[in-house]
Amino acid sequence: MITWLAPGDPVDSFPPPSAALTEPNGLLAAGGDLGPERLVFAYAHGIFPWYSPGQQILWWSPDPREVLIPSEFHRSRSLQRALRRHPPRMTIDADFAAVIDACAAPRHASPGTWITAAMRAAYLTLHRLGVAHSVEAWRERELIGGVYGVRLGAVFFGESMFSATANGSKMALAHLCDWCQTEGIQMIDCQFANPHLRSLGSRALPRRIFLEYLRRWC
């Protein structure tokens, strides 16, 4: 069984992450709201929202947790060539709304999106509060790639990224890793593993270790 939250419940009403289901991996709670206080509390405790249109808000804390250490980002030869031949203009927080909208746009492999109108509004609020950030890759005035997420202390919680051209999202992620190192950010949360992230240097951490890092760095 999972815990059901009401919109008015205190933000600390989440069960401990250890109570999450193993199938589906990490499902912890449902309901509640996407207010900034609840979102910040959730991230700081290893919990994030992820659900489809028409569903209740679903809250997750998978085990293991996929992470990327900024200094371990793998720049493939093709990425290095692309950065040398056609170096993009990189920015931080130049157009958060455009990045989240591009991440929500339909893709060939996934015509739907989990970035609902409510999710979009919630992260725009976090951006206005200085908690959510975006990285943009530009070619002249065209946005060719980006990534956005939430920063709490020395942890960046990645939410989504997109490419409008070859290597666009990789360029944005490379710049995010460079920015993290200058900002003293120790870890990028990638939530779940996939082959693409693994090729870029991500690795799995047991949830208990991940939560210990959050207690130390958030």
Contacts of 94 (CB under 8 A, 6+ apart): 134, 136
Helix (H) or strand (E) holding 101: helix 96-104
Token representation of residue 49: 């929202």
Token representation of residue 210: 């991940």
Q: What is the mean pLDDT of the chain?
A: 95
Task: Please give the share of the chain, as a percent, with pLDDT higher than 70.
Answer: 97
Q: Which of 178, 125, 124 is nearest to 156 (CA)?
A: 178
Helix (H) or strand (E) holding 113: none
CATH topology of domain 66-217: Aminopeptidase (3.40.630)
Token representation of residue 207: 């949830």
Task: Tell me the pLDDT tens digit for each residue of 34-75.
Answer: 999 999 999 999 999 999 999 999 999 999 999 999 999 999
Task: Tell me the pLDDT tens digit for each residue of 86-142.
Answer: 899 999 999 999 999 999 997 655 555 789 999 999 999 999 999 999 999 999 999
Task: Please give the share of the chain, as a percent, with pLDDT higher than 90.
Answer: 89
Domain with CATH 3.30.70.3550 in the chain: 3-62
Q: Please report the pLDDT score of residue 113 as a whole number.
A: 72
Task: Tell me the pLDDT tens digit for each residue of 170-212.
Answer: 999 999 999 999 999 999 999 999 999 999 999 999 999 999 9
- Residue 60 DSSP SS3: strand
Whole-model pTM? 0.95
CATH topology of domain 3-62: Alpha-Beta Plaits (3.30.70)
